[in-house]
Structure 1
Amino acid sequence: MIPLIGIGSPTLALEIELLGMTFLLCSLIGVERQFQRKYAGYRTHVLVGLGSCAFTMVSGYGFAAVLGTDVTLDPSRIAAQIVSGIGFLGAGVIFKGRSTVRGLTTAATIWVAAAIGMACGAGMLSLGIILTLLHLVTLWVVAPLVRRIPDRDRRRTLRLTYVDGKGVLRSVLGAATDMGCTVGIIRTRRTAKKGEEALVHLDAKFFGKPPIHDLVTELTEVDGVRRVQVLAQGEDADDD
C-alpha cells in the first residue's frame, strides 16, 4: 500500500503510476466484457475506473492547500459519492423484459471497475490487483463450472396447447429465442372436435438460462397459446 492520505500533493510520477495501474486492471475487465459483446464494453470500464481513481485522489489530497488549524479535511467526502453515482450508471445497462432481467453481470463489473479505481487512487494497489484477479476467476473459471451443475429444470418437459393454423408455433419459438432458449421438439399431436377450433399439443424441451417458471409465464402470454404444462421426467407425454 502506498500511503497517500495526508501527505500533500502527490508527485507526477506517483499520479502516473496510480492511473496507469488503474488503466491496466480495468482494461482486463473491459476486454472480457467486450469479448462477450456486452453493451458496456472496454471503453466504459476503463473510463469508469480512471474516473473513480481521479476522484479518489482529488478527494484524498486535492484540497491540502486549504488545510489549517480551523479546517479539517475529510478524505471520504468526494469518494463516497462515487458509490452512489456508479449505481445510476450500472442501472443504465440493465434491461428488464416481461419476465427476464438482463445486464446484471455487466452492471456488477462496472461497480467492480469503480472499486478498482478507488483502490488504486487510494494507493492500495495490492487490493486493486487482487480484486481484478478474483473478478476474472469468477467470470472465466467459476461461472462456467456453476453452469454445469445439474438443476431440476433440465429434467423437465413443457407441453404447450395452442390453436392450429394461426402461426402460434412461430411466435412460441420466437419468444423462446428472445429469452435465450433453444427448443428440442419431442412430439406433436393435433386434436379437433366438431364445432371447436383445432388444437395442437406440443411436447418439447427448452434449454437455456431462464428458470422454467419464467419460461412458462412468457409462453403463456403468447397469443393463441391455450395452456402450458410442466411435465416431470418419465411422465407420459401422451397422457392428458
Structure 2
Amino acid sequence: MFAEPVGQGWTQIVELAVALVLSALIGLEREIRRKSAGLRTHTIIGFSAALIMLVSKYGFTDVLGEHVVLDPSRVAAQIVSGIGFIGGGLIFVRRDAVRGLTTAAAVWLTTAVGMTAGAGLPVLATTATAAYFLVIYGLTPVADRLRDRGSDRRHVEIGYRDGEGVLRELLRICTGHGWSIEQLHTRASGTDGIDAVQGAEEGDTMTHVGATVLVVLELEGTGSYEDLVAELVGHRGVLAVTGGRAGTDDPDAE
C-alpha cells in the first residue's frame, strides 16, 4: 500500500550528476560569449530534462499492476514539445537580422543531453557534448570565412526630409539590393536655415537646408554598392548621400 517507486538509488544520482556537469559545460561556453541563456539556464535545463526522464522511467512503478499499463516514453516526449517555448523566447529579430538561433539550438541540445544522461546513456551524452564543442569552436571560423567571402562592409549617411516616410523606403531599398543593416543611427537637424549635422561614428559632416534627418547605416552584403547609392540618390525626399567602406576615414562621396 505504501510502496514507493523504484529508481532512487546511486545509479540515478550519478545519471543526474552527469547531466548536471555536461549541461554546465555547454552553458559555460554560452556564458563566456555573453549570451542571454548562459551557465545557469543551460545547467537547469539539462538537469531538469534528466530528472523528468528519470520520472518517466521510474516514477510510476508503484502503480503498475495487472490492469495498469503505462508508456514510459510519454512524459519524456513532452520535454521535446515544452523546450520549444524556451527556445522560441531566445530568438528575436532586430531590424532585418535574426538573433539567438545558436543559443536556442544549444538549449535544444542541452535538453537532449540531459534526457540522454537520465536515460542511462552517459557515453552518448558525453559524445553529444563533445560534438557540440567541436561544432562551436571548429566550425565557427569556417562559417565566418564562408560568410565573409565576397561580402563587403559599407557605411552610408543619408540626409532626407522629415515627415515623409522616407526612412522605411530607404531600408527597403538597402535590403532589396542585398545589404543587411548591421547598425542604424538617426539624428534630426534643425528647421531654421542651414544646419550642419555630424555623423554618428565617422565624424563626417553634412549640411542641409530645412527640416532634415541624418541617418547613418552600417551595411554588410554582396550587392552592388554603386547601384544602391544611385537608387538612394534618386529617391524622393533624399537630399544627400555620403558613403564609403566601413572602418575607413576616406569615404567616397556620392
Where on the TM-score scale, by shorter chain, does this alignment land: which range?
A: 0.5 to 0.7
Q: 1:66 to 1:197 in 2, by over 3 A?
A: closer
Matched residue, 1:125 = 122
Distance 2:48 2:23 in 1: 11
Over residues 26-48 of structure 1, what are the superposed CA-to-partner deviations in whole Å (9 max), with x where a residue is unaligned? Answer: 11101101101111110100000
Distance 1:98 1:132 in 2: 33
Distance 1:51 1:16 in 2: 13
Aligned letter for 1:100? A
Aligned letter for 1:46? T
Matched residue, 2:11 = 14
Structure 2 unaligned regions, length at least 5: 162-166, 172-180, 186-199, 245-251
Aligned with 2:75 (options 67, 78, 84)? 78
Aligned with 1:37 (options 34, 37, 44)? 34
Does the alignment pair 1:176 with 2:174? no
After the TM superposition, which residues 63-74 of structure 1 pair with which residues of structure 2 at under 5 Å, given as runs? Answer: 63-74=60-71
Question: Contact 1:184–1:206 (CA<8 Å) still a contact in 2?
Answer: no
**What's the CA shift for 1:10?**
2.2
Q: Secondary structure at the match of 1:65?
A: coil
Distance 1:137 1:51 in 2: 25
**What's the CA shift for 1:126?**
1.3
Q: 1:141 to 1:80 in 2, by over 3 A?
A: same
Matched residue, 1:3 = none
Question: Contact 1:54–1:121 (CA<8 Å) still a contact in 2?
Answer: yes
Distance 1:50 1:26 in 2: 7
| Percent of pairs with identical residues | 35
**What's the CA shift for 1:142?**
1.0
Distance 2:43 2:212 in 1: 57
Matched residue, 2:188 = none
Q: Secondary structure at the match of 1:162?
A: strand
Does the alignment pair 1:90 with 2:90? no
Q: Secondary structure at the match of 1:19?
A: helix
Q: 1:139 to 1:229 in 2, by over 3 A?
A: farther
**What's the CA shift for 1:163?**
4.3
Aligned with 1:60 (options 44, 57, 61)? 57
Distance 1:135 1:62 in 2: 31
Q: Secondary structure at the match of 2:183?
A: helix
Q: 1:184 to 1:97 in 2, by over 3 A?
A: closer
Distance 1:176 1:68 in 2: 64
Distance 1:199 1:10 in 2: 68
Distance 1:106 1:23 in 2: 18
Aligned letter for 1:102? R
Distance 1:18 1:198 in 2: 64
**What's the CA shift for 1:153?**
2.1
After the TM superposition, which residues 1-240 of structure 1 pair with which residues of structure 2 at under 5 Å, given as runs? Answer: 9-149=6-146, 150-154=148-152, 157=154, 160-163=157-160, 176=183, 206=219, 211=221
Question: Contact 2:184–2:218 (CA<8 Å) still a contact in 1?
Answer: no
**What's the CA shift for 1:125?**
1.1
Aligned letter for 1:151? R
User: Which one has a larger percent strand, Structure 1 or Structure 2?
Assistant: 2
Count of aligned positions: 200
Q: 1:70 to 1:136 in 2, by over 3 A?
A: same
